[in-house]
Structure 1
Amino acid sequence: MQVPPFWRNVATVVTGAVGAQALPLLAAPLLTRLCSPGELGAYSVWLGIVAISAIGATLRMEAAMILDHEPERQRACFRVVFYSATVTAVAVTVLAAGACLVGFGPACSLPWSSLLTIGIATWLTACMQTTLAYATSHNAFGKAARAKVTTAATIVGTQLALLYAGLGGAGLVAGHVIGSAVGFATARMLLHPPAAPIGWLPDAEQRAHLMRHHKFWRYSLPSNLLNGAVSQLPLFLIGMRHGVLAAGLYALTQRVLSAPISLIASSILEVFKRESVREFEEHGNCTRTYIKTFKALMVLGAGPALVLLLFAPHLFAWVFGESWRASGELAQLMAPLFLLNFIASPLSYVFFVAGRQKADLLWQVTLFCLTLGAFLAPGSIEQNVLWYVIGYSCLYLVYLHMSWQCSRNVMAAA
């Protein structure tokens, strides 16, 4: 019996993603024994800043890469992203250094080695995301998978070596930057994307591309910045209210829970992008692809969520060491949210397909306000996390309904 193209492509992406995500997971028990919760917390804060900055650096133009198949337009997309990423990298480096020099508390808590590498890490992340989007637009899932595995292997290997050498938190940051650079170079060699020279100012080609896809930077960019901020905001607020030790415990919880989403859900997303765009162009909706993807995500996510709900504290203590049991207790509280996130994240691309980015932005604003309220409310870290899970889960149910309406193409246009 012949396997449908959708599942063949999913299998290809998952195969590469397994290597890319399994390596950090396998290395996590070693990392937690070579670094303290405080060092992991500081590295996670740095990584969160890089992740948010990279979203702004792309202007969300990498999402438009899937819609534009012409070589000239894809070249213009690379030129826009390379320009915006360069400007953003310089700006965040200057801002980070300046914040430390004027005595801004959160910036002063990070070493200079971290502050001065935020820009280059942002540039590498933004350019890598765009190159992988180019691979998706050409169905080059195998080559993209190899680039991801190379990135993960280099990051993990370098971090472990530098931690063993006694560099501590600085080794985590340096290993990430080195691995990202090697991964980006590998992706460029494997995929051969178009050259993208830039100048001091955007030229007519770049400005035309920005206007053609104005909904991405007008609506998707602020929406994704809010989403990125929301994903990192708990870590920042926990560190401010409960201390660096609590931030490190939450960072490990977040890292473990995000792994299946990065491993499987994001792999399905890469295929869902192509399938949903094709079906929408042919039929004016993508309900068939949406339903098929929803069922697959539900089946794949239910098992891990149940395991977390029942056994997370014991598993964390056994795998990472007894000092990390509290991370497992937080993971147990977050198990329902993990399942909803696992399902909703890939399906959110339907907002782009249907051109409903404004609706997505309004939902992200609501989520941002809810997150602030949950973690600024008085109480222990466990109580804050519980309120966060309840509110976020309710919003995710609304989000899934909205995405289903988008797949049917019945929501009012943005």
Structure 2
Amino acid sequence: MLTNRINEIKKSNYIKSILVLVSGTAFAQAIMVLVLPLLTRLYAPEDFSILAVYAAILGITSVSACLRLDIAIPIPEHDTDAANLLAISLISSASISLLAGVLVFLFPHEIARLTAQPELIHYLWLIPFGIALSSSYSALQFWATRKKRFSTIASSRMEQSISGASTQIGFGWMGYTPLGLVLGQILSSGAGIIRLGRSAFSQDQATFKSISLSEMRRLFKAYDSFPKYSTLDALANTIGIQLPIIIIASVALGSEAGCLMLAMKVLQAPLGLLGNAIAQVYLARGPSEYREGNLAEFTSKTLNGLIKSGAGPLIFAGIVAPDIFSLVFGEEWRRAGVLAAWMTPWIVLQFISSPISMVMHIVNRQRLMLGLTLWGLFLRIGSVAAAVYLDSAYVSECYALSGAFFYIVCFRVFTVQAGVGGLKYISTMKGTIPLICGWAILGITFSYIFSGLN
């Protein structure tokens, strides 16, 4: 029976695609996580606070730079249509980057003042380059996803992590702080663009000859729901995540934003390792499953795999985080471990929900997704604002809890849209609860032993 199961896995293109992406992404994420103990000793917590604000601004501006038409690239039936969507995405990326450069040049002091980070003014000029690299990489990555070149995507992610980590270590070693963190952040999100671009233009030149202004206009109109709804959706989602970090940096004393960012980096590593890989493959295969009427079953199997592979280890990590963070990163980072524990429910729910969020694009429910994300934006910012007003000492904890509540609702909406409900819910959870409980008990045991040793 085990042999038959192994043969099934070998024959499954879906599993193969995930394994290819995970293998390359695992290497990339391992590098980024393994260098963190060194980075926390080369850079002060205050440096990470500047990085947190910079990354927040970059995230907000870059996520919609392609007008979300990059997400649409795997969906059309014909490659010629997808190629024109890719061209629109890259043109939009260049335009938004140029606009950001003008704003940074004209209003640097105002931007730094709004973020309450005066030192940030020295690094604002890097924002346009970060937007261009990150958004162009996204567009080319979705083209590679469409062509099912998952090994190329995996290799590009490895290049990103190596270049980002080496830059941060090298600059930190030479004392160029926090510049090294900022440059490394840019490279870790866009350095793979050369590999993806070379792959696309060497293998798809014939397809790209179909790109024309008239076709771009036609495709823009055909997929106008993405700029209309998905752009606002992406902005609302990113602002809901990143703006509270900027608020926390401006109102909290010391290095709270830096500790929050370190906690997020560590806990979100599984999202980059497995969750993003599954999301890529889900979007590549989902449209055909939808057309064949198998989307509910496909989504249910995806959820089952996500829960079994990631939920338990994340819960374990959250339980032991306070002690492990102080041991690995230094005692001054214990606060980051405490925040990681608070964030665990949020990260677990995000890990399960985010890969299947692509169902909203597959079934063309961008308007509903926009409404959901706008509600999440007001929930998160409202929670942080209320905490600032009542007691700013707990603002980060309120932020973490609001994220968990948001993803509970997201999970329900995504599964309903995929047709997963009733008995499929039961089958999805079958066999996962004992596994999760085992990880939780293991985490409590480790935490008790570690506390006894100290």
Does TM, normalized by the shorter one, top 0.5? yes
- Could you say if the C-alpha distance between residues 36 and 69 of structure 1 is closer, same or farther in structure 2, counting changes exceeding 3 Å? farther
The amino acid of 2:184's aligned partner reads G
CA distance in 2, matches of 1:396, 1:101: 36
Name the counterpart of 1:320. Answer: 329
* 2:394 counterpart of 1:388: no
Q: 1:406 aligns with which of 412, 417, 423?
A: 417
**Separation in 2 of the partners of 1:384 and 1:299?**
32
Q: How many residues align?
A: 406
- TM-aligned CA distance change 1:244 to 1:227, over 3 Å: farther
Q: 1:299-336: CA deviations, max 9, x gaps?
A: 12222232133211001111111110000001111111
Give the equivalent residue in structure 2 for 1:301.
310
Task: Tell me, yes or no, if the aligned pair for 1:143 and 1:191 is still in contact at 8 Å.
Answer: no
Percent identity, aligned pairs only, is 25
Asked if the contact 2:90/2:139 (under 8 Å) is kept, the reply is no
CA contact (8 A) 1:58 1:85 kept: yes
Q: Contact (CA 8 Å) 1:64, 1:216: kept in 2 or not?
A: yes
Measured after TM superposition, the shift of residue 104 of structure 1 is: 5.3
Give yes or no for contact 1:20–1:149 (8 Å, CA) kept in 2. Answer: yes
SS in 2 for 1:72: helix
Listed as ranges, the matches of 1:188-207 within 5 Å are 188-192=197-201, 203-207=213-217
Paired residues of 2:31 and 2:165 also in contact (CA < 8 A) = yes
Per-residue CA deviation, residues 197-218 of structure 1 (Å, 9 max, x unaligned), is: 9x9xx93332222111111111
User: Is 1:215 the equivalent of 2:225?
Assistant: yes
1:232 and 2:242 aligned:
yes
The answer as to 2:49 corresponding to 1:38 is no
Judging changes above 3 Å, is the alpha-carbon distance between structure 1 residues 292 and 219 closer, same or farther for their aligned structure 2 residues? same
Deviation (angstroms), 1:355: 0.6
Distance change (3 Å), C-alpha of 1:181 and 1:292: closer
SS of equivalent residue, structure 1 residue 78: helix
> Deviation digits for residues 354-390 of structure 1, max 9, x if unmatched?
1111111111111111111111123455633333344
Structure 1 residue 27, shift from structure 2 partner:
0.6
Alignment counterpart, residue 109 of structure 1, candidates 105, 111, 118:
118
Q: What's 1:373 paired with? A: 382
The 1:87/1:325 distance shift into structure 2, 3 A limit, reads same
Say whether the 8 Å CA contact 1:317–1:323 is kept in structure 2.
yes
Counterpart residue number, 1:124? 133
In the TM superposition, 1:48-197 aligns within 5 A as 48-102=56-110, 105-106=113-114, 109-178=118-187, 182-192=191-201
The whole-number CA distance in structure 2 between the counterparts of 1:110 and 1:209 is: 43
- Give the AA of the match of 2:22: V
- Residue 244 of structure 1 deviates from its aligned partner by 5.2
Q: TM-score, normalised by structure 2?
A: 0.84
Q: Output the amino acid matched with 2:279.
A: L
* Matches of 2:158 and 2:391, distance apart in 1: 39
Cross-structure match for 2:267: 257
Partner of 2:347: 338
- Distance in 2 of aligned mates of 1:233 and 1:406: 29
Secondary structure of the structure 2 residue equivalent to 1:116: helix
- Which deviates more, 294-303 or 392-401? 392-401
Paired AA for residue 14 in structure 1: V
How far residue 50 of structure 1 moved from its aligned partner, in angstroms, is: 1.5
Gaps of 5+ in 2: 422-454
Give the corresponding residue for 1:363: 372
Matched, 1:353 2:355: no
Given that 1:162 and 1:168 are in contact with CA atoms closer than 8 Å, whether structure 2 keeps it comes out as yes
Larger radius of gyration: 2
Give the whole-Å Cα distance in 2 for the aligned partners of 1:405 and 1:54.
30
Q: CA deviation at 1:44?
A: 2.1
Q: Flag the 1:190–1:126 CA change in 2: closer, same or farther, 3 A.
A: same
In 2, Cα distance between equivalents of 1:134 and 1:12 = 17
Compute the RMSD of aligned alpha carbons: 2.3
Distance (Å, rounded) in 1 between the aligned partners of 2:279 and 2:66: 19
Q: Which stretch has the larger CA shift, 101-110 or 79-88?
A: 101-110
Following superposition, the deviation at residue 234 of structure 1 comes to 2.2
Aligned AA (1:30): L
Larger deviation, residues 219-228 vs 397-406: 397-406
- State TM-score, norm by structure 1: 0.92
Q: Residues 356 and 130 (structure 1 numbering): CA distance in 2 closer, same or farther, change over 3 Å?
A: same
